[in-house]
Amino acid sequence: MGVSRARELGIREFAMPTNGNAGGAWSAYAARAGMTAHIIMPESAPNVNRLETVMAGADAYLVDGLISDAGKIVAKAVVSEGWFDASTLKEPYRIEGKKTMGFELAEQFGWDVPDVIVYPTGGGVGLIGIDKALHELHALGLISSKMPRMVAVQAAGCAPIVEAFDRGAAESVFWNDARTVAFGITVPKALGDFIVLRLVRETGGTAVAIGDDAILEKQRELTADEGIFVCPEGGATLAGAIALRERGWIRDGERVLLINTGLGVKYPDVPYASPPLLARDATVPIPVTR
């Protein structure tokens, strides 16, 4: 929606920082729309994300740093080159696109929203979009005033929202030395952190940090149980929900929605277990383990 609306308004060239997924998506849509995309991403971003942007014809660059460093480069470029700034929350239509998650979940839940929504949170735009959609649906009379309790799940190696939530702060503090296998949520300081913190509190939600070992374990468990190869961020939501259930925060009989934000195939370098190598003439049964 962001690219389509930008094209409609006459924009032909834009720049954005990304951890990978957004850059790949915007590059692909820009190619179809005949627009030029300037994409800056961390050098440590998954190779698949790099490939997506390059193959789509984007003007792609890597930076020796995090998405926050990429953002600083983009901020300079939009001033010096006159490109449109498509950074998170710097234009309104990415939120409008994210809203579709809220519309779809409300419809699929029969216009009776779940009790809890667990979302892997980096920049937090997905949470903001869902919350906006549900309030609009309520204003239209399509759902009741009941809102799901929103849960922001972050990795223990980069948890500024969780730290701010626990302190009772209105916004987060820059997280130094951020690192996690769930690369998509490696955002040391979200531009809209104050919005995320406000909506989590207003819905009676919470924020929880999960270690990388638990993220990888639950990624495999969720993939094996559901047959959907989720990304590490998806694994974080299951680990977060289990932790909250064990604390009694999630109660008996509550409907809990876990939102996955990407495919596991985008993380080929994550250390998954390797199947055993068999000789060509092997006839022994192959054990199935999980």
Nearest to 171 by CA among 189, 152, 146: 189
CA distance 160 to 193: 9
| Residue ranges in the chain assigned as alpha helix (H) | 2-8, 21-33, 47-55, 67-81, 93-108, 125-139, 160-167, 193-202, 212-226, 232-246
List pLDDT tens digits, range 79-112. 999 999 999 888 888 899 999 999 999 999 999 9
In total, the chain counts a number of residues equal to 290
Instruction: Give the SS3 label for residue 235.
Output: helix
Looking at residue 114, its pLDDT comes to 97
CA distance 109 to 103: 10
Look at domain 95-263 and name its CATH class: alpha beta
The topology (CATH level 3) of 2-85 is Rossmann fold (3.40.50)
Mean pLDDT in order along the chain per 10 residues (290 residues): 91 93 93 96 90 94 93 95 92 90 96 97 95 97 96 98 98 95 94 96 98 96 93 96 98 97 83 71 63
- The boundaries of every CATH 3.40.50.1100 domain in the chain are 2-85, 95-263
List pLDDT tens digits, range 200-229. 999 999 999 999 999 999 999 999 999 999
Structure-token pair, residue 32: 């179809």
CA distance 210 to 197: 18
**Strand order through the sheet with 84-85:** 59-63, 36-42, 13-17, 84-85
